[in-house]
Amino acid sequence: MIVAIGIFSMVATLTMGSLLILTAAERHVSSVQINQDNVRFSLEAMAREIRTGDTYKTCSGLGSDNCFQFRNALQETIQYCLGTLDNVTYYAECSDSVNSTHLLRKVDDEDAHPITSTDITIDMLEFYLYGVVEDDVFQPRVTIVMKAIALEGQKNETQMNVQTSISQLDLDF
C-alpha cells in the first residue's frame, strides 16, 4: 500500500509539473500572438491610409527617416512617427530622441496619439520613399521597416521585425 501511494504521488507530482509548464507556455504563446496581431494591425491601418493618400514625404525631406508625412483621402495632413508617450494624457509628440519608443499618428496640428499598445516598444522605424521626385516615371511608394519589442524587459519579451511596401493608388502621371 505504501509503495502504491508513493508511485501515485510521484505520478501526480510529475503530472502537476507538466500541467504548470504547459499553462505557462500557453500564456507566453498567447501574449506573443496578441502583440504580433497588434503590430500587424497597426501596420495594416497605416498601409490602408497611406495607399489612398498623396504628397508623400519624410519630415526631413527625401530619403530614409523615422517620420513620414502625407495627405490622406480626406485632405488631412497625417504624420506617422516615433515619439514619447505622456502617461498622464496619453498624447505624445513626435521626437528624434533616443527615448522615442511609440508609433504615433498625428492629424494636422492636433496632438499625436499612439497606434500600438503600450506593451510594445518600437525599437526602429524607418520610411523609405521612391518615386516622389517630380517628373519621374515611377509611381510613389513608401517602404516601412519596423522593429518592435513586446513586453520589453519581462520574461516573455519578444522581438518582431516587419516590413511592407505601399504604392499610392492614384496614378502619378
Identify the pLDDT of residue 61. Answer: 57
pLDDT range class, residue 64, cuts 50, 70, 90: low
**Residue 63 maps to a domain:** yes
CB 128 within 8 A of CB 143: yes
The residue count of the chain comes to: 173
- 76-135 residue pLDDT tens: 999 888 887 665 445 556 665 556 678 888 888 787 888 888 788 888 888 888 887 777
What pTM did the predictor assign?
0.76
Identify the pLDDT of residue 107. Answer: 87
DSSP letters spanning 118-159: TTEEEEEEEEEEES-STT-SS--EEEEEEEEEESTTSTT-EE
Identify the pLDDT of residue 117. Answer: 82
Residues 6+ apart with CB under 8 A from 142: 50, 56, 68, 127, 128, 129, 130, 165, 166
144 - beta bridge partners?
A: 127, 164
Q: How far is CA 128 from CA 114, 164, 166, 167, in A?
A: 21, 10, 10, 12
CA 104 to chain centre: 10
**Residue 172 maps to a domain:** no
Specify the higher pLDDT residue, 139 or 16: 16
**How far is residue 20's CA from residue 99's CA, in Å, rounded to a whole number?**
37
Identify the pLDDT of residue 6. Answer: 92
Give how many domains the chain has, as a whole number: 1
**Residue 173 maps to a domain:** no
Q: Domain span at residue 130?
A: 2-167
**Residue 92 maps to a domain:** yes
**Residue 134 maps to a domain:** yes
**Could you count the other beta carbons within 10 Å of the beta carbon of residue 47?**
15
**How far is residue 79's CA from residue 67's CA, in Å, rounded to a whole number?**
7
**Residue 127 maps to a domain:** yes
Residues 6+ apart with CB under 8 A from 159: 123, 147, 148, 149, 150
Specify the higher pLDDT residue, 86 or 35: 35
**How far is residue 74's CA from residue 86's CA, in Å, rounded to a whole number?**
28
In the chain, pLDDT over 70 holds for what percent of residues?
A: 86
- Kindly tell me if the per-residue pLDDT of 170 is higher than 90: no
Chain mean pLDDT for the chain: 82
pLDDT range class, residue 5, cuts 50, 70, 90: very high
Identify the pLDDT of residue 97. Answer: 56
CB 129 within 8 A of CB 140: yes
C-alpha cell of 95?
521626437
**Residue 93 maps to a domain:** yes
Across the range 57-72, mean pLDDT stands at 76
**Residue 140 maps to a domain:** yes
